[in-house]
Amino acid sequence: MPIDVDRDDAVATVTINRPQALNAFDDAQLRDLLDALRALRDDRSVRSVVLTGAGDRAFAAGADIKAMAMMGRPEALAFGRRGHAVASALEALPQPVIAAINGFAFGGGCELALACDLRLASERAVFAQPEVSLGIPPGWGGTQRLPRLVGPGLAADLIFTGRRVAAEEALRIGLVNAVYPPDRLLPEALALAGRIAANSPTALAASKRALTLALAGHPDAGLAAEVELFADAFGTPDQREGMAAFVEKRPPVFGAAGGA
Ligand code: CO8
């Protein structure tokens, strides 16, 4: 399958599985990923998600250049919009998403990683937005999400030069949260996903929504939404259980998303 989904208790692992093309995305692959994300969104038993690439060379080497080479404007617009839909679906998932970047994250591959909530990298990971070397600008959100993560100056450097960023630099500039030896990457990503999954799914979804809004538009709108989302949590079973457990010095036991 071009996209594999595995489950381990409350953690889902989504694997981009086209290693013969270094997991580059054609339209079919994008559609499959979108379908997989929609299914995860509606599965309240999934509490965190890990996104990674098959094989040991690539997370995703971008959009499929061989397919793009044949496209005119209408096809490129549809393909660009599909990439946007996938990135937005990652961002809009109620569950936190961890990108486990095991190799090349180029172009659209880097842009999908940027749409995840957390990024863990293998020591072998390499990042780039090389689109300008192909005669196109970034098209799956890189111009918007990269400056928010690393700052506008560094984003301009990476996008205007297309240069490669090794894992060590990616950590230094805040492009990734942590770097691990290749064989530790997936276990560490799954362990982090498991720790996140132990928390209240309702509170995670509200936090994620508010964090997303923090980077959209003027901070006032995000702050106004944050206070509403914060207040909405009060009186829910998860809020009562989380706070009662603290007071009673025991681990909390949360229900499914929605606080049921
Ligand atoms: N598309 C299609 N096929 C690819 C891609 C790709 N992006 N990347 C690698 N492949 C294929 C190669 O063609 C090769 O296939 P084959 O064996 O059939 O020739 C196979 O994967 C292995 O690749 P290499 O032999 O090139 O492996 P190397 O180790 O020599 O090099 C690199 C690895 C450096 C990653 C190299 O493959 C490379 O530079 N790939 C292209 C990376 C790139 O430029 N990505 C950005 C693409 S543009 C983009 O993502 C824009 C997104 C927004 C689109 C908006 C649309 C409007």
pLDDT for res 229: 77
**Of 22, 56, 144, best ligand 1 pocket probe by most atoms within 8 Å of the beta carbon:** 22
Q: Whose CA is nearest to atom 10 of ligand 1?
A: 21
Residue 222 clears pLDDT 80, i.e. is over it: no
Q: Whose CA is nearest to atom 40 of ligand 1?
A: 61
Residue 25 clears pLDDT 90, i.e. is over it: yes
Fold classification of 3-183 (topology level): 2-enoyl-CoA Hydratase; Chain A, domain 1 (3.90.226)
**Which ligand 1 atom minimizes the distance to the CA of 106?**
45
pLDDT for res 259: 40
Condensed to tens digits (0 to 9), the pLDDT of residues 98-119 reads 999 999 999 999 999 999 999 9
Q: Whose CA is nearest to atom 30 of ligand 1?
A: 22
**Which ligand 1 atom minimizes the distance to the CA of 109?**
50
Angle between helices 201-214 and 237-247 (to 10 degrees): 110
pLDDT for res 223: 66
pLDDT for res 28: 93
Spacing, Cα 79 to ligand 1 middle (Å): 17
Condensed to tens digits (0 to 9), the pLDDT of residues 234-249 reads 888 998 898 899 889 9
Strand ordering across the sheet containing 178-180: 3-8, 11-16, 48-53, 97-101, 118-122, 178-180
pLDDT for res 219: 64
Domain limits, the chain: 3-183
Average pLDDT, rounded, for the chain: 93
Q: Whose CA is nearest to atom 13 of ligand 1?
A: 21
Catalytic center residues: 111, 131
pLDDT for res 243: 81
pLDDT for res 221: 74
Condensed to tens digits (0 to 9), the pLDDT of residues 165-202 reads 999 999 999 999 999 999 999 999 999 999 999 999 99
Pocket of ligand 1 (CB under 6 A): 21-22, 24, 61-66, 76, 79-80, 83, 104, 106-108, 130-131, 134, 139-140
For residue 50, name the pLDDT band (cuts at 50, 70, 90): very high
Q: What pTM does this model have?
A: 0.93
Tell me the percentage of the chain whose pLDDT exceeds 70: 96
